[in-house]
Structure 1
């Protein structure tokens, strides 16, 4: 097509040699009378059969003149580059895009105009990665998208075609839109864990697949976890929320990361069909901070141990542990103890009494260790008491005093026993309760109690006598520092009790 065709009609001269030429196109009128035929700027309308006729006039002497002729034909095939005439989805001939539901099946049809026949392809060009759906050496091709998926089947489809005359491949496109709720894009996987250092910046990005796209920025909600609760984030001087032009990607930018920024984040996005949510976490990548407020618990300092406590600092984003170091103030080398991150108080034992020690500590994680705290000085208690007596002397004094006190109590009890002992023939105040009388009126007793009924078959019943008041006694010790509360004990009487068998019903509570 659009070229010039020159054809020469071959012939063998007759007798006479004078020859005439006539050209015909498709049995129409003559289109030429020379041996050569020239067809310039050939178009598709010029395709068809052409005929060349040659003739001469034979006029022998004494005979009638006669025309002699011969002819031949040929076919002109006008070829042209392939051109795609139509590319449609489910019969939508003039639509540049169609919308279907998720899991629906759609048929694509591509038709080309080409001579010779074109080589046609239908490809899924949704994510700049061609996926061939069909190929044919023909001017017509079709393909089906079965059980359409929003993530992989929504986007641009192309029909490509060419033949030997095409300098550039011909392409027609149609967009297939699939109604679906938001979901993470499989082609841009979110980085859900970000490792940063304090005072640096972090960007959390989330790309989705959804149709229709979220309406605006309000369809995206970013939140931050603070003390176990989710707090909605808004734009400010450190937090910036941005949205892409196609509304399918959102970014959360955080500048000057602080300790409380190393936590969990989430973003929730919705459209007319549904919603989805993605979580992130920012973790620190640095050594822990120095433990705070290291101090000695004075009340827990003993002759052989000291107790220290502290407040953990920032762990650097990794699990940390603590290292406690101690030594005698006069020594050069330290002894170190590793402590779990859950411990904030430690008792250091096996120390020497009356000796000055130094204590320090630092925190450590897999990244590194913190600086050390300032060393504390502490002196264990001395074995010498406040009054200057040695433990053996104090014990001896305490034992002597205790022995004297025991003798005094014994003498007092003996005197009280004789004072309360009943003389022969003398009745006790509550004898009627123990003389096995079946029924005694209150008027016959010298007490203020009602009659007490004693069953005849029951013997040796005793009433437990208990003092209702309690006394506190001080433990005698050289220092006189410790007081103990001692309560009276009540003992249940038995048949073998000497006082009961002798009817000496007076008791002294010791």
Structure 2
């Protein structure tokens, strides 16, 4: 029994039973036959009838006649001949029910009620067909066949080499359909009929890579063939994993360059084909990737090298649920070899003294592979050495500089045809210490010149360069006739020095030098280069030590000296001395009176046996051929002890007074004071009177008062100035007259009064003298004044006299010893 769903799927089919009545007409008119396209036609299908005419008569009409069992469907359809053929008349025809050609009529959409319709054809209205087509209706055909249990799938999954069984079933139809399998040459069972259905099974075995389609074909006399198909997919476990690097197949030993971003992929084939998440990468017991791709963040590192395992796991699930799914797990091991270049150690800076031995060594950590090539290169001349160490005997300056150390290995990464050179390179310095040498020194305007002459106001650009390691202290200086080794500029830690003189002058004429020294140079023996610079200039004062105002003494000598700065240096005739003659200067020459000495830039002029007229001004004129000449005024001034006064005289005026006179002489150029010492012969104490020099006065007198009558007095006279006493004092003796007559009483009062006045005046004078002497000669007391032989001491050998209470008494020569006296 079929369920309602199956019954509803069955379609009613109509089968036309064609009964052919053969009648053959032979004659001049010819013959006509009718045939159909099929014996049975399923309901809803089309039936094509063909009318065939054989004869000699010209064809002009085909007449189709339906003598059907239903009078409502009886009709004639006349088709005019020849082509293009068309329907003639069309009385009440429904042209949607058929189509035609010149000799065919196709009935569209055959219905069940067409059963037993009878069709004939006629040619030219007079030649009838000798047969007819009768439509007969039977049951409808079976439903399309299905495959039991798998009618809802199109793919059938099976495991390779397993035995499978499929059953095809057809339901309905009268008669039942015939079933046949096309499936791997499998063994088909006999058809099995059960009620309104028929089934047939096939049993087969298939291997991998034999995927195919199994087809069940149902045939039925009432309709076309019907088929049902099932695609067979043969499953098999995954293959042993293989590996690829960046898509290229590789073996189980993979070499990858350090920090490379390359990935390693694990590949396996099977059915079902493993997905990327069916793979697991492990290193030891650690899962490092949960998919088919193994990669390293930031590139592979040295510690990432080692043995890895790739595992692929899949499950084969058959479509036949009665069979158990099969899970398969396969693994492969692979070794990751991380390639990397050798790595240099820190390269130190090397230092050694000139002439010492030095070993250069490139120390490094080997890479992978460990075979390493070492190259040492000197950068300044590109000389290379391929040893790991290089020995330099007896260092030269040229050995100093920058060196390059390179270490290399050859890496062959998997999946890459070209070899990769791995290298590490570093630069280090070799310092060769050596003493300083001055290589260049001079003026930029006169390169390499040792002697240079320039005009005044020229700019001088000095330069000095040294060769030194380490750098030097550079001293630039000059030496001239005034000063030796004057440092003009000093720099520390350099190899060159510059110094500019913006406007060269006379004083810049000198010998210039550049000296350099470093840690390995003795300062005392520091190398030096020199050059001479001469600045053309007219004569001028050098600024040396000389005096334009000179003092002299009578009978002595006085010398003027002067040096100039000038280039060219004046010759002997370039120095001319003149003496002032009251109205003009007159040239003087070498003689007994004058001595002139000229040597280079130095001249001296000596005046011999000085006389008073020599105390005047002198003019020096210097010329060297460059204008203007140089002129300098000199003065000779007296500066000596005065000449002693002469012509000492006295005149007695009274028995108690006397007048002393003398004539003054040259005061030695300084203001002089006349000193008069007097005492009675019997006394040991001197009385002192002084008188200051008065300009233009020659003769002097002084009054001695308070004398005793009838007494003998000694007088000493000399003069002194700031330089000291005159060289030869003078003296005399005189007697005061005896008072013979007593003065009258009135006269006595007068005398007394006069005497009193005289005494007062004398006291005042003494006080004044004492104050003056105290101020001038540092006398410690005002009065009384005591002068003794200790006070006046004469050294005959030195012609010096010392006043122990006053000033120097130069030239005093006492003729006798004096006792102390006091003045009241």
TM (normalized to structure 1)?
Answer: 0.53
Work out which of the residue numbers 638, 646, 657 in structure 2 matches 1:292: 646
Residue 211 of structure 1 pairs with residue 577 of structure 2: no
**Superposed counterparts of 1:135-154, under 5 Å:** 135=491, 138-151=494-507, 153-154=508-509
* Aligned 1:33-44 pairs, distance under 5 A: 33=387, 35-44=388-397
Identify the match of residue 272 of structure 1 among 607, 625, 629: 625
Work out which of the residue numbers 649, 667, 670 in structure 2 matches 1:318: 670
Partners of 2:549 and 2:688 lie apart in 1 by 38
- Cα deviation, 1:405-463, whole Å, max 9, x if unaligned, reads xxxxxxxxxxxxxxxxxxxxxxxxxxxxxxxxxxxxxxxxxxxxxxxxxxxxxxxxxxx
My pick for the range that moved more, 318-327 or 142-151, is 318-327
Deviation at 1:250, TM superposition (A): 1.8
| Separation of aligned partners in 2, 1:82 and 1:330 | 90
8 Å contact kept, 2:511–2:533: yes
2:469 and 2:609 map into 1 onto residues whose CA distance is 66
Change (3 A) 1:157 1:24: closer
Q: Distance in 1 between matches of 2:420 and 2:688?
A: 133
Matches within 5 A, 1:55-454: 74-79=427-432, 80-123=434-477, 125-126=479-480, 127-128=483-484, 130-133=486-489, 135=491, 138-151=494-507, 153-168=508-523, 169-186=526-543, 188-194=544-550, 202-216=558-572, 218-224=573-579, 232-236=587-591, 239-244=594-599, 247-253=600-606, 264-273=617-626, 274-281=629-636, 283-286=638-641, 288-294=642-648, 311-323=663-675, 336=689, 338-341=691-694, 342-346=696-700, 361-370=717-726, 371-375=728-732
Work out whether residues 86 and 93 of structure 1, in 8 Å CA contact, stay in contact via their aligned partners in 2.
no
Q: CA RMSD in A?
A: 5.2
- Pick closer, same or farther for the CA change 1:378–1:101 going to 2, 3 Å: farther
The answer on whether the counterparts of 1:361 and 1:373 sit within 8 Å (CA) in structure 2 is yes
| DSSP-derived class of the 1:190 partner | coil
Distance 1:82 1:337 in 2: 77
CA contact (8 A) 1:268 1:278 kept: no
User: In the superposition, relative to structure 1, how do residues 164 and 177 fare at CA in structure 2: closer, same or farther (>3 Å)?
Assistant: same
Structure 1: runs of 5+ lacking an equivalent: 57-65, 381-510
1:133 deviates by: 4.6
- SS of the residue aligned with 1:175? strand
When the two structures are aligned, how many residues end up with a matched partner? 363
1:189-238 superposed Cα distances (whole Å, 9 cap, x missing partner) = 2134455666665543212222221122x222334567887564443456
Q: Is the 8 A contact 1:239 1:253 kept in 2?
A: yes
Q: Which one of 356, 359, 363 corresponds to residue 6 of structure 1?
A: 359
Secondary structure of 2:725's aligned partner: coil
Larger Rg: 2
Higher strand share: 2
- Which range moved further: 225-234 or 86-95? 225-234
CA distance 1:336–1:161, shift in 2 (3 Å) = closer
Distance 1:83 1:346, change over 3 A: closer
Maintained 8 Å contact 2:553/2:610: yes
Report which structure shows greater RCO (CA 8 Å, sep ≥6): 1
